[in-house]
Structure 1
């Protein structure tokens, strides 16, 4: 489920009046020959698309009449012979599609309130990703050309500001729409990008009871329950893993007054872009009690890439990895779904902050060391 929103493009949406009974989906399919099948799928109990209906194209059009929706669900339209899909949410309102043969995910959708909210949200995500990618391109240019440290810090602060604004937007959507299916997608996105689990849980608790009965809501709750072990205020899960020389390193043995547990990988570009900042903070505060342990999610058989990245990025702290990619047992213990991900611990191993980057990391480390 975490990949559903990443794999689709944003579409334009217009509101439509609600019908009293049931709903219909219909659309235009220019240059698609008669007889081609349009397949309607929805997420099943395992959050996997399952075909629930189909109809043949006739005169470059299609229509399906569907029964009342008790609980909305994520739906997909696929067209025989075309790649991709069109995303929408089932709701008791007519939903109209204008299918673009050469770019199915970019097709236009016109639906009710659920779909209007969905595409407003996806439009926000598209705009956010465009801005973040530009910042990261600029960061990559700066770091590969020995750029100005002040310029790099400014770009990192800009990205942090975008992330904070995005979090505020998502909280607002979920809080103001406790009965809308889109709120479940928003909360799922929040937890997948490392938002504090306690904040997501508070929003989840405010959702309608009907929403909480859906399969995606149940999966979200299960995820939140797992995340509780790494919430701020919890003791960080203890682990032991091999360093590049094969020696087993335990978290408890490398704790400083403040310790950063940094999940990264040689193949992860955002991680590599953040490394210079961590190096800077480490060099400034290591003698005062700041330690770092890097946990790599590099792949089996690619130890050389891991160790080369350590050398290239001047990462002089402790490193461990089981070289098992996303199946790394330490990553699973910490419920890592995306990297970079980081946990800041106090001297007793209690999690005091998560996913701090750029200037925010140095500010927090300095604050904790001066206590």
Structure 2
């Protein structure tokens, strides 16, 4: 695997350039599924938006859409499910698209970036600085730093990894958004004032954070579709039951897309505290305000809105609350 990645690094050093707008030369076949259309989707902010579609004729399809390359896109046979992740580049690319087994049966030819992405996925425990050092010219390095590592790193670590990228990657969307994220995170350190916000509760009424600060408040980012969030919810419920009467409160911020799923998640998990949501998935302005790149995530603030802790999980939440509330008493 190491030899493969180094080999890609040498080749990509001569092939990767800044993204440019080009007409796609993308054709392929749909295997193991009868499909009427194939949809081309653009990746942004952990979401995909459909930008074109073509009819499938005798199992074959072809796109000539004008798009920015090299970049990450998605291919799918419907717009409801997650697409097949594909890095598109200038030049002819062919795809055997398997909607039933996207990553074990689909085959892409003609995209060096896709080959590197597939290699990274198979060796997904590789440390990000090492990966970037081996592939500084690749859009894949910028993407992986943005998508898979930004929520694990401190602002200084993010900047250090950006510095490892070649200048050809410095103006990519991924790097620009990472730099914006660093600015946000630097303003959210412990001891800083938490940004105020207004959100709507399930009844459609506006709720302002600053008007609901009593004792210590946990700003909890979650969603009904988030498995790790639902797994963590019993711990938060237990903490709320034990410490609410002593001055612990919660404001839940959901990244749900559909109101009915959000409301059902609240009811099923017994989240009996303030809940707000913009129902905009990762386009949540509140999540962006708090630099949230993965959920569950949380900030614990005091009655003046000062951040005292962040991303407390399991017993750590109860231990922290016990120490703070005992000190208060």
Q: Same fold (TM over 0.5)?
A: yes
- Say whether 1:212 aligns with 2:157: no
Matches within 5 A, 1:1-371: 18=11, 73-74=70-71, 87-88=86-87, 90=89, 99=96, 105=102, 106-109=105-108, 117-124=116-123, 169-170=127-128, 172-174=130-132, 177-190=135-148, 196-241=154-199, 246=205, 248-251=207-210, 253-256=212-215, 258-266=216-224, 268-286=226-244, 289-297=247-255, 302=260, 306=263, 309-316=265-272, 318-321=273-276, 323-326=277-280, 330-336=286-292, 338-346=294-302, 348-366=304-322
Name the CA distance, whole Å, in 2 between partners of 1:121 and 1:348: 45
Runs of 5+ consecutive residues of structure 2 not aligned to the other structure: 17-24, 32-39, 53-59, 63-68
Name the CA distance, whole Å, in 1 between partners of 2:12 and 2:248: 61
Deviation at 1:260, TM superposition (A): 1.3
Name the CA distance, whole Å, in 2 between partners of 1:77 and 1:283: 44
Q: TM (normalized to structure 1)? A: 0.54
Contact 2:151 2:294 in 1 (8 A): yes
Find the residue that maps to 1:315 and give its secondary structure: coil
Name the CA distance, whole Å, in 1 between partners of 2:306 and 2:139: 35
Higher strand fraction (1 or 2): 2
Find the residue that maps to 2:192 and give its secondary structure: coil
Q: Deviations over 1:206-247 (max 9, x none)?
A: 433321023432243334434544455532102344556747
Find the residue that maps to 1:238 and give its secondary structure: coil
Find the residue that maps to 1:99 and give its secondary structure: strand
Contact 2:201 2:275 in 1 (8 A): yes
Matched residue count: 295
Name the CA distance, whole Å, in 1 between partners of 2:311 and 2:100: 36
Q: Deviations over 1:290-341 (max 9, x none)?
A: 43222344567649x62x644543334x3032x5302665445335555433
Name the CA distance, whole Å, in 2 between partners of 1:97 and 1:235: 51
Q: Deviations over 1:32-84 (max 9, x none)?
A: xxxxxxxx99999xx98999xxxxxxxx9x9xxxxxxxxx823669799xx96
- The structure number with the bigger radius of gyration is 1
Aligned Cα RMSD in Å? 5.7
Name the CA distance, whole Å, in 1 between partners of 2:254 and 2:27: 48
Find the residue that maps to 1:325 and give its secondary structure: coil
Name the CA distance, whole Å, in 2 between partners of 1:206 and 1:170: 10
Contact 2:128 2:149 in 1 (8 A): no
Contact 2:246 2:325 in 1 (8 A): yes
Runs of 5+ consecutive residues of structure 1 not aligned to the other structure: 1-12, 32-39, 52-59, 63-71, 126-165
